[in-house]
Chains A and B, each alone.
Chain A
Amino acid sequence: MKNALLIIIGLLIIPLQSSLVNSVSLWGVKPDIIFIFVYAIGLTYNEEKAMLMGAGLGLAADIFSGGPLGMNFLSKAATGFAAGALGRRILNMRLRLQILVIFFVTMLEVMLQITLLSVFSKGIMFSVGIKVIFLQALYNSLFTFVFLWPLIKKLKREREWLLSAKESILIR
């Protein structure tokens, strides 16, 4: 049931990304809500689930994109893996550090996409690449923070509760 819901949300995210999100683009760069979703899955579940979801959504995004098929498939799966691997560890970090982590994960994702493009397609212009890498990283970290802050807080509370429950069991 939960998985079906996640797939439905995922399928809704693609048309949202290609229609509604355009309204908030800055200098031609828009936030990547597929990234945010995959990142949230990674934080909440594990590497495998986030990787599979990232690969599936990435493939759907590739079908709707002018870029090479497989580019988003691989990069979003990698994002899922990174988010899953970072997982709950990120919850111990300070807020500024969390935003910085998202910034760097986005940068790495776009850099991977650009590398794949250079290998399998025509590549992109250096100036455009730099602009997209930084603006998208900025935009994504801001959006991820705004949208995922309640989730991060909830996961933090759950973790603290688990830790205290563990401690009380150990004391007993």
Chain B
Amino acid sequence: MSKPRFFYTHKKGILLIIIILIAIILMSPNLQRRPRYYLIERPIVFIISAVQSGITSTKEGISSIWNGYINLVRAQEENKRLKKEIDALKTENSSYKEMVYSFERMQALLSFKEAAPFKTISARIIGKDASNLFKTFTINRGEKDGIKKDMVAISPEGIVGRVVRTSGRSSLVLLSIDRNSEIAAIIQRTRDEGIVEGKGSGLTHLKYIPILSDIKAGDVIITSGLDGIYPKGINIGKVISVKRGDAALFLEIDVMPDTDFARLEEVLVIIN
């Protein structure tokens, strides 16, 4: 059997083997730990980020128009005679409301930014993780804005996560609720130190708190700064449950993050 014929008859198998081999190479630890996107990845990141940004803006525009439309329909039902005026007013009102909400959000972010003891840069979330197994955000700031790996993203409520990969105009932020996230933490009241690890769901858990600690539900958890990544004193969340195992050395503590990740639209990235 000649070589091209062999390839042709075993095309599927050969292709499968090539894909598995490439996957093994891709999964090597060196490639996983890359702080920046490789040159070969950058065009893909650039194109997809631009489309992502466009889609996010269009989505916001459509939802604003849709809100206006909903208000329009409701106004029609309420009073037909005053339809036109009410329609216009409601639509206007809705867009004003959106502006007010946006303004309030920005104001909160700005006042937090001014009060925060570190230099920050605001960023818009343009995408969330494509997979259901990880918790990451893509933000519209990258190396050109001074963003580097391991810079911390926060919101007025507390910790959001840290930058794990950067490109020119966008970055990937690993959220504190992701399974791969670990933050050195301290219990504000008892001063016990531990590590907050993401659970991959909406919660995190606090590890290495000794069984003798008197931590209880409602206790506030803040960053301790001992990991050298997250600055000290930023809110992480509140304890929602404490379990004591029979023969365990440490407590099992669930922590509800203060940040509402589902509704987050903007973040601040600490740049110093």
A residues neighboring B (CB under 8 Å) = 11-12, 14-20, 22-23, 28-30, 32, 34, 47-48, 51-52, 55, 59-74, 77, 81, 110, 113-114, 116-117, 120-125, 127-128, 131-132, 135-136
What are the residues of chain B within 8 A of A22 when measuring CB–CB? Answer: 128
Q: Is B179 a contact partner of A17 (Cβ separation < 8 A)?
A: no
In the assembled complex, B11 has its CB within 8 A of some CB on chain A: yes
Q: Is B134 a contact partner of A65 (Cβ separation < 8 A)?
A: yes
B171-209 residues with Cβ-Cβ distance < 8 A to A are: 172, 174, 178-180, 199-202
Among A66, A77, A116, which residue has its beta carbon within 8 angstroms of that of B134?
A: A66
Q: Is A60 a contact partner of B180 (Cβ separation < 8 A)?
A: no
A-B contact pairs, 5 of them (CB 8 A): A51-B12, A77-B23, A110-B133, A128-B200, A132-B132
Q: Which of A15, A55, A135 has the most CB of B within 10 A?
A: A15
* Apart from A59-B26, A73-B23, A120-B32, 13 more pairs, CB < 8 Å: A15-B49, A19-B56, A19-B59, A63-B37, A65-B130, A67-B131, A72-B131, A77-B19, A77-B23, A113-B133, A116-B27, A120-B27, A125-B179
In the assembled complex, B127 has its CB within 8 A of some CB on chain A: yes
In the assembled complex, B247 has its CB within 8 A of some CB on chain A: no
Ranked 10 nearest A-B pairs via Cβ: A70-B26, A66-B136, A18-B127, A15-B52, A74-B23, A66-B134, A15-B51, A70-B27, A128-B200, A70-B23
Q: Is B26 a contact partner of A23 (Cβ separation < 8 A)?
A: no
B190-249 residues with Cβ-Cβ distance < 8 A to A are: 199-202
In the assembled complex, B110 has its CB within 8 A of some CB on chain A: no
A30-B127 contact given A19-B59, A51-B15, A64-B48, CB 8 Å threshold = no
Per the bound structure, the CA–CA distance linking A47 and B10 in Å amounts to 12
Total contacting residues, chain B, CB less than 8 A: 48
In the assembled complex, B139 has its CB within 8 A of some CB on chain A: no
Q: Is A73 a contact partner of B19 (Cβ separation < 8 A)?
A: yes
Q: Is A30 a contact partner of B132 (Cβ separation < 8 A)?
A: yes
In the assembled complex, B1 has its CB within 8 A of some CB on chain A: no
Per the bound structure, the CA–CA distance linking A28 and B262 in Å amounts to 9
Q: Is B48 a contact partner of A74 (Cβ separation < 8 A)?
A: no
A-B contact count (CB 8 A): 148
Among A12, A62, A66, A81, which residue has its beta carbon within 8 angstroms of that of B180?
A: A66
Q: Is B129 a contact partner of A65 (Cβ separation < 8 A)?
A: yes
B residues neighboring A (CB under 8 Å) = 11-12, 15-16, 19-20, 22-27, 31-32, 37, 41, 44-45, 47-49, 51-52, 55-56, 59, 126-136, 138, 164, 172, 174, 178-180, 199-202
Per the bound structure, the CA–CA distance linking A125 and B133 in Å amounts to 10
A105 to chain B, nearest CB (A): 16
What are the residues of chain A within 8 A of B135 when measuring CB–CB? Answer: 66
What are the residues of chain B within 8 A of A59 when measuring CB–CB? Answer: 26
Q: Is A125 a contact partner of B201 (Cβ separation < 8 A)?
A: yes
Q: Is B133 a contact partner of A117 (Cβ separation < 8 A)?
A: yes
What are the residues of chain A within 8 A of B45 when measuring CB–CB? Answer: 63-64
A73-B22 contact given A68-B32, A125-B199, CB 8 Å threshold = yes
